[in-house]
Structure 1
Amino acid sequence: MNDECRPRPVFDPGIPEADRALLAAAPERLVPAGKPAPPRPRVRATTLAARLVWIPAFAVFYGVLPGGWLRVFFLASLDQDDLMGAAIRWGRLPVAAMMLTPALQILLILLGQPEAAAALAAASFAGWVVGAVRHVREPAAARAAREYHGSYLLPGDFDRSAARLLVRAQHAIDGVLGSQSHGAGLLDDVNNKIVLPRQEWAIAGALAEHTRLRRERRAQQPERLSAGVRALLEPQDRALELSVQSITRRIEALESYALRAGEADDAYHESRVLQSLPEQNARYRDLLASTAGDAMAGAEIEAMAQDARRAETALRERVTSALRAGQELVLPADDARTLN
């Protein structure tokens, strides 16, 4: 599936905003709804025991011996995988940089700054402890991906035809939310920030179900079935076709709304240009008065004023048309998850 036909992930609007942000920021942890939910991670007993041993060992090291040999001993005792894990998981500084800490402690002691050396030791030890505890605990994004599995839909949940329809819906939604008329509050009556995510989720849910049904039908290998059995399956195929048509009409309604919002944008742009007309008219009036008769100047200025009024009328008409198209998209709360 190329990028043009690849929809973005869709999240249930009922997911709390903070958790939606976690999920969106960690797409690599998300699992398609059509696959089993990610399991709860289990910490190996050996890993947990190692953390429990390392923490007091480092406490003794930092409290008693401000040297580097013991630290080198501990790092050398790790196998390569654990060493890489320590470098990646236990802080953002490389392990080599952390090994310089004892040398800095000794230098501070020689310079007569034992308090600074103690503070450095405490900070470094705290970093190791935080890294160990954080590694044992399940990351927040992994927890959200597991708990909300099925409440988000990924490109893998859609076949090619469903993905194309979802991309069309998402492009229309982006067109509305990115329009100047929406940004200026001209379309606030539709409450786009609530209605459009509900629409996207409802459409995506229906398209994911279409995909599951088509995949199940392909797995049945209908070409190997007898004519009588295929006849029994025809009502199911017809029901799926009708549902696809219904979803397509809803997407077309979204596209119509986006088109009306674009037209309102054009009128809004014209209205902003015409807002400066009064000042400009005064300048042009002075210009015409100095170069033509009063009657001609008055006629020209009146024509400009009429153009401004027509532009304002066009803006109101286009915004009204966009609002009417948007109102048709509002779903009742109980129907937000399902579309026929």
Structure 2
Amino acid sequence: MTEQDERRMRPVFAPEIPEYERRLIRGMPRPLVAADGAPPREPRWGGRATVEGFGTMFLAGALFGFLPIMWCCIVTWGSVTFGLLMEAVMIGIWVAFGFTAFVAVGSVMAAFLGIMIFIFFEEGDDARLAREHHGRYLSTADLPPGSPGHECMLRAQDAIDTITGSRVWDAEWLAGLMDEETLARHEWGIAEGLAVGSPDDLRVQRLEEVAERVRAADTAARDVESGELETDEVLQQRLGAVRTAVTVLASGDNNVPS
């Protein structure tokens, strides 16, 4: 298996989805659902989905039943007094009635709290947003790893990462020509085409051309800083080439002047 085979594209979002919501959806513990599939179901009881709900129920319930002081400090943000009182009650049960009674009472408390959490605990924002925005994001569920579409998407995202991780980008030398919103539109347009079987390889090539010229400009910028180049003439020439490639990407011109 090659390194390219092991890599996975990151989810691609419609440009109108705010970055904060994109981050939440990307961080979901569960896989995203394909855009052409049924949207994720809302939890039946208004709480979290089954796997996530049982995990929360077990951990919080176990803490509350046997270590209420820890539960209060973590979950209720510092209710130490109540936690100490509950802990004293549990220790008192152990001392007065024995370890079996302690386990029995703790288990009942854990089960009760766990059930309440599972029924009433609000659904996570990530799952809610994934359901609300279903159809406006694409992931490996739409472009499976190993497929031509997935490989093409990786190329596009590699080019975007090169651009946004460059000195050219950090120095805002492309201000007015390219920004995060512009790149998001290109990324989404490429992903949409791949998902419906209409790859826009030309746009990917143009994006890669921009990235290649950005790399060349970065090299010139480093050479100017290190003193290898006495003037910034080469840098300005390469920045001009970057701007030309960006303009071509935006205009749809097939010719990329050298």
User: What's the TM-score once normalised by structure 1's chain length?
Assistant: 0.54
1:256 partner letter? E
The Cα offsets for residues 133-176 of structure 1, whole Å up to 9 and x where unpaired, read as 98442221111111111111011212511111111111111111
Match of 1:313 among 225, 233, 236: 233
Aligned residues: 211
> SS state of the match for residue 67, structure 2?
helix
State the match for 2:124 in structure 1: 139
Match of 1:104 among 64, 88, 92: 88
- Greater share of helix residues, 1 or 2? 1
State the match for 2:4 in structure 1: 4
Q: Percent identity?
A: 30
State the match for 2:141 in structure 1: 156
The Cα offsets for residues 270-303 of structure 1, whole Å up to 9 and x where unpaired, read as 11123xx9xxxxxxxxxxxxxxxxxxxxxxxxxx
Judged with a 3 Å threshold, the aligned counterparts in structure 2 of structure 1 residues 208 and 308 are, in CA distance, closer, same or farther, namely same
The Cα offsets for residues 34-67 of structure 1, whole Å up to 9 and x where unpaired, read as 32111121118xx9xxxxxxxxxxxxxxxxxxxx
TM alignment of 1:90-129, pairs within 5 A: 93=63, 95-98=65-68, 102-104=86-88
> SS state of the match for residue 42, structure 1?
coil
State the match for 2:226 in structure 1: 273
The answer to whether the 8 A contact 1:29-1:145 is kept is no
Judged with a 3 Å threshold, the aligned counterparts in structure 2 of structure 1 residues 2 and 158 are, in CA distance, closer, same or farther, namely farther
* 2:43 maps to 1:41: yes
> SS state of the match for residue 26, structure 2?
helix
Where in structure 1 are there 5+ consecutive unaligned residues?
48-81, 108-127, 211-242, 278-306, 333-340
* 2:233 maps to 1:262: no
Judged with a 3 Å threshold, the aligned counterparts in structure 2 of structure 1 residues 85 and 24 are, in CA distance, closer, same or farther, namely closer
Distance in 1 between the 2:26 and 2:34 partners?
14
Judged with a 3 Å threshold, the aligned counterparts in structure 2 of structure 1 residues 90 and 317 are, in CA distance, closer, same or farther, namely farther
Where in structure 2 are there 5+ consecutive unaligned residues?
48-52, 70-83, 92-112, 253-258
Judged with a 3 Å threshold, the aligned counterparts in structure 2 of structure 1 residues 14 and 134 are, in CA distance, closer, same or farther, namely farther
Backbone CA RMSD of aligned residues: 3.6
The Cα offsets for residues 102-153 of structure 1, whole Å up to 9 and x where unpaired, read as 343699xxxxxxxxxxxxxxxxxxxx69x73984422211111111111110
1:329 partner letter? L
Distance in 1 between the 2:234 and 2:55 partners?
65
1:138 partner letter? E
1:101 CA drift (Å): 5.1
* 2:21 maps to 1:19: yes
The answer to whether the 8 A contact 1:23-1:145 is kept is yes
State the match for 1:329 in structure 2: 249
Judged with a 3 Å threshold, the aligned counterparts in structure 2 of structure 1 residues 165 and 145 are, in CA distance, closer, same or farther, namely same
Judged with a 3 Å threshold, the aligned counterparts in structure 2 of structure 1 residues 270 and 189 are, in CA distance, closer, same or farther, namely farther
The answer to whether the 8 A contact 2:57-2:118 is kept is no
1:200 CA drift (Å): 0.5
